[in-house]
Amino acid sequence: MGALERLFALEQFGIKLGLDNIGAIMAALDHPERAWRSVHIAGTNGKGSVAAMVERGLRAAGLKTGRYTSPHLDSIEERVAINGEPVDRETFVAATGVVFEAVDRATTAGTLTVVPTFFEVSTAVAFEIFRQARVDVAVVEVGLGGRFDATNVLAPEITAITSIALDHERHLGSTLSAIAFEKAGIAKAGTPLVIGRLPGEAARRIVTVAAAAGAPVIDAHATTNDRVYPPLKLALPGRHQLENAAVAIAILEAWSARVSLVPTSAVITGLTECRWPGRLEWLRLPDGGELLIDAAHNPAGAAALSTYLQDTSLAPIPIVLAVMEDKDLAAMVAPLAAVAASWVATTVPHTRARPADTLAEALRALTPAVDVRAAADPETAVALALSGSKRAVAAGSIYLIGPLRSRLLASGASIMNL
């Protein structure tokens, strides 16, 4: 079995939170996570966008950067970027082989007593690639939660929590306070913790956890400094990116104060020149139709998408939707119902995916006044949505957005630069 086949075979073990496995793997690899500095970013939504802004700003300041995000859009090596570019398949496969050799050594030695998860191994692969590439700094996105996430073996220079909302309740808890507690688990003694605009109960819990850990809290919306920023057009669209930009600025300014200079010009570059595909991204299709794709995979993401469509006067608009079974469908549909001209329910080849017909039935019950159709094939669903409209939206699971985006680009679609 090849390295990648062995890695994907681990997906059957699902999610297992805890640091014992990743700690054993790091030790067997002689701790690649200690070979570079890091910024560690958690949050329900926005952490990928913030990671993109921060990585671009640090790179503009002259640092060699790594970036680790998850999940990937279409190919696994997209999770690991050096200087803003995803690593090639050969590099990823070679590092995966190195990590599995370490896994086997640790298993034989008895320091690794259970089979590691897909995320644990892919995290180790990223950290090994960063060591081999000799990056100065890696911007690392938490996979799930924070406290027991595999990325929490880091000793970062700065940590951040972008937002708190209900998501992954089965793993993180059913209240904002419980979710905040899990995400605040990335706080480290003496390490600044930047927080975005958070609900009151979540903010209070995070401040309490940070104080117990000895981590100074920086409120991205309450900081005062001598830097002056001119009016900017953010590279990433949507009103919610203003919140993410504030967090990114606070992280970059904290890095500048704590580690090495990040000039104001570099911060501006981070905000205005970063790229984060699949989030409020417009594609022009070969037949002239225009498709907005957005990985709005939870209620907060759906609300951000709805706000964008209202702010840009694009609503009402047909929406192609795919949603996983474990998501709160009613809470996702509520904000989107205000902007949906019609629904086309679709699905993806994933064990947690809702079948298109089942999703369509639920949409009819939730929005009886809105037309609902179903098409199991996402490209067929897009064609249906565009059959009576110049523009449409494809949203929901990243398992929809990533492969759909790749197939559309391969068939002649182009990215629209707005």
pLDDT tens digit string along 115-153? 999 999 999 999 999 999 999 999 999 998 899 999 999
Q: What is the 3-state secondary structure (H, E, C) of 210-245?
A: HHHHCCCEEECCCCCCCCCCCCCCCCCCCCHHHHHH
Sheet containing 340-345, strands listed edge to edge, beginning at the edge strand earlier in sequence: 371-374, 340-345, 317-322, 391-396, 290-294, 281-284, 414-415
pLDDT of residue 347 exceeding 60, the answer is yes
Question: Which residue in this structure is represented by tokens 């081999």?
Answer: 132
Ordered by start, the domain boundaries in the chain are 3-272, 281-415
Query: Looking at per-residue confidence, does 97 or 296 come out higher?
Result: 97
Q: Dihedral sign for Cα 56, 410, 5, 293, please.
A: positive
**pLDDT value at 166 more than 80:** no
Contact 22, 123 (CB under 8 A): yes
Evaluate if residue 169 carries a pLDDT over 80.
Answer: no
Contact yes or no for 160/254 (Cβ under 8 A):
no
Confidence tier at 283 by pLDDT (50, 70, 90): very high
pLDDT at 223 exceeding the cut of 70: no
Fold match, 3-272 / 281-415: no
Which range scores top for mean pLDDT: 9-13, 71-75, 199-203, 283-287? 283-287
Answer whether 238's CB lies under 8 Å from 308's CB. yes
Q: CA 292, CA 261: separation in Å to the nearest integer?
A: 37
Q: Which of 296, 288, 309 lies closest to 386 in space, CA to CA?
A: 288
Query: Which CATH code, of 3.40.630.10, 2.40.50.180, 3.40.1190.10, 3.40.30.10, is assigned to 3-272?
Result: 3.40.1190.10
* Mean pLDDT of the 394-410 span: 95
> pLDDT value at position 18?
83
Which pLDDT score, from 0 to 100, does residue 172 have?
Answer: 59
Q: What is the pTM of this model?
A: 0.94
Percent of the chain with pLDDT over 70: 97
Which pLDDT value is given to residue 219?
Answer: 96
State pLDDT tens for residues 31-86: 999 999 999 999 989 999 999 999 999 999 999 999 999 989 989 999 999 999 99
Distance CA 245, CA 320 (A): 29
CATH 1.10.760.10 fits 281-415, yes or no: no
pLDDT for the residue 292: 98
Residue 16 has pLDDT above 80, yes or no: no
C-alpha 41/C-alpha 159 separation (Å) is: 6
Kindly indicate the confidence band of residue 13, based on its pLDDT and cuts at 50, 70 and 90. Answer: confident
Mean pLDDT value across the chain: 94
Distance CA 389, CA 292 (A): 13
